[in-house]
A and B are shown apart, each in its own frame.
Chain A
Amino acid sequence: MFRRWLFVVITLMFATSVCAAKDKNSIQIKGSDTMVNLGQAWAEEFMKKNPTDFVAVTGGGSGTGLSSLISGTCDIAMASRNIKEKEISLANKRGINPNEIKVALDGLAVVANPNNPVSKITIDQLAGIFTGKIVNWKELGGKDEKIVILSREVNSGTHVYFKEHVLRKNDPNSKEEFAPRALLLSSSQAIADEVAGNTATIGYYGMGYISAKQKPIAVAKDEKSEYVAPTIENVVNGKYPISRPLFLYTNGTPEGPVKKFVDFTLSKEGQNIVLATDFVPVSR
């Protein structure tokens, strides 16, 4: 008799808790690992100002975020690359209309271990290293060590951007790929940790991940150009050759709580948060 009552009470508790969760406006944001810290900073500030709204931010890579938007399992996708043609057509097949909103700019920093004597590289040399044609640091004037190439996994917008703009030098017909022996690590933080601990490594990630444990390398477009370091200034004035826009993608024009959030990210406060997380504001 008692057991039956217990069962009823527990069922009611579950039922009411489910209903209570539905009252809050909740926004699911998924995607770029580069932008995940920025996304979380935005979410925290946004939820402070709008206590009835709930924002959940997860990483997983730009590819994961866009795939999630297409499958309908998130409201906003963060991406550090443009959406591909194939993704747009897959989305349209499923009735989703991707809407692109540029929210920040990012410089892609190339980093090495602080004990590595090399501090300047041209884009051609970078392409040579990451496609596997240049194998030893001594070819660049460094120590006699085999270069250990660190890259992000294939679901990363950073990976795709680096491949298209550095390895393939913006040539849509190029077939260059990362060297098979490149280590594919699961996050920018993993790359940062490995670079900090290994003198033969070279890696890349968004400027926001640079810390004192890694050395950012100055990059030049070619041998005659200036070698430019990845700083916010150099991204804003266009001197740093590997910089890219960061996007939020929504299904159609944003409405309701999603619109509130997107407007917040583009507002003065939102762009200040962009600056605070070491990215470059888009409306300055």
Chain B
Amino acid sequence: MRKLKEFIIEKLILICGLASIFFVMLIFIFLLKEGLAVFKIVSPFKFLFGKSWYPISEPPQLGILPLILGSLLVTLGAAIISIPIGVGCAIYIAEIAPLKIKETLKVGIELLAAIPSVVLGFIGMVTLVPLVKNLFHLPTGLTALSGSIMLAFMAMPTIVTIAEDALYSVPKTYKEGALALGAAHWQTIWRVMLPAASSGILAAVMLGIGRVIGETMAVMMITGNAAVMPNSILVPVRTLTATIAAEMGEAVVGAEHYFALFAIGIVLFVISFAINVTADLFLHKRQQ
């Protein structure tokens, strides 16, 4: 009787594990099925490198290069802002802060993580956009820069939490050895602990960027949604995610616009996948 119970439980757990892989495969196959259909209408080269996105015209112009560049520009901007601040904050919390400040900071970071992204987008639209407009004397504040700043707020908690964990997990012997040999505190951090925790910090950065590239609501509200080829960070852009969100309601199931939006989904999936694989490679390289 006990053996039967064990057998059933083991098989149930096996089914749960297989189910998750099964669902991911199903999603992936559906995405491919609906997205690849667009390549009957437009060649992959024209789709990926075309500069005009006019999906409801007759005939539809389906070039997503401005969208890809928009997504990449906003992500890059967010990375440049959030990585130094995030890693710096993690170092401060892990190594330098006195206990009381450490606790307060940790709570603060958790609170920042808890703010829903659409709320951050709304706040950005009302406060940051006019500020950017007046600061840089632009025709409008709905730009990639505004988007990058708000996205940096979203990426930071992830980066800080995981980087801080990585720094904690560096064996105490490293730190104690360096200090015993006469190194100053900052020297120890910069030359011993950061390199030792680098794989974890890199993973933190990748996870933060992964979150940023998939962000939809906030960018839709504050980047202006203009499908132009961006020539600086102070112009409106349109991201892949905002395009899908804004246009999916209008696309009738089975129309070219519908397939094009799924193809954009495939592109997003590939970019995310590439980021994760790169992160993985780095991790494994380090471990050798």
Interface residue ranges, A against B (CB under 8 Å) = 60-61, 63-64, 66-68, 70-71, 86-87, 90, 93, 145-148, 153-155, 160, 175, 177, 180-186, 194, 197-198, 200-201
Of the residues A61, A145, A180, A186, contact of B226 by C-beta under 8 Å:
A180
- Is B102 at the interface (CB under 8 A from chain A)? no
Could you tell me if B226 and A182 are in contact, using CB atoms closer than 8 angstroms? Answer: yes
B130 neighbours in A (Cβ, 8 Å): 197
The contact sample of 17 A-B pairs, CB cut-off 8 A, is A61-B249, A63-B56, A63-B249, A71-B252, A86-B255, A90-B254, A147-B139, A154-B56, A154-B247, A155-B247, A155-B250, A183-B224, A184-B226, A184-B227, A186-B221, A198-B133, A200-B140
Could you tell me if B139 and A200 are in contact, using CB atoms closer than 8 angstroms? Answer: yes
Could you tell me if B238 and A184 are in contact, using CB atoms closer than 8 angstroms? Answer: yes
- Is B228 at the interface (CB under 8 A from chain A)? yes
How many Å lie between the Cα of A253 and that of B55 in the bound state?
32
Proximity bits, B249-284, A CB within 8 Å = 1, else 0: 111111100000000000000000000000000000
- Is B115 at the interface (CB under 8 A from chain A)? no
B227 neighbours in A (Cβ, 8 Å): 180, 184
- Is B20 at the interface (CB under 8 A from chain A)? no
Could you tell me if B250 and A154 are in contact, using CB atoms closer than 8 angstroms? Answer: yes
Chain A interface SS verdict (over half)? mixed
Interface residue ranges, B against A (CB under 8 Å) = 52, 54-57, 66, 130, 133, 139-140, 142, 220-221, 224-228, 235-236, 238, 246-247, 249-255
- In order of increasing CB-CB distance, the 4 nearest A-B pairs are A155-B250, A63-B250, A64-B249, A184-B225
B226 neighbours in A (Cβ, 8 Å): 180-184
Could you tell me if B236 and A181 are in contact, using CB atoms closer than 8 angstroms? Answer: yes
> Within the complex, what minimum Cβ distance (angstroms) separates A146 from chain B?
5
B252 neighbours in A (Cβ, 8 Å): 66-67, 70-71, 87, 90
How many Å lie between the Cα of A61 and that of B249 in the bound state?
8
- Closest A residue to B220 by beta carbon equals A186
> Within the complex, what minimum Cβ distance (angstroms) separates A131 from chain B?
12
- Closest B residue to A87 by beta carbon equals B252
B238 neighbours in A (Cβ, 8 Å): 184
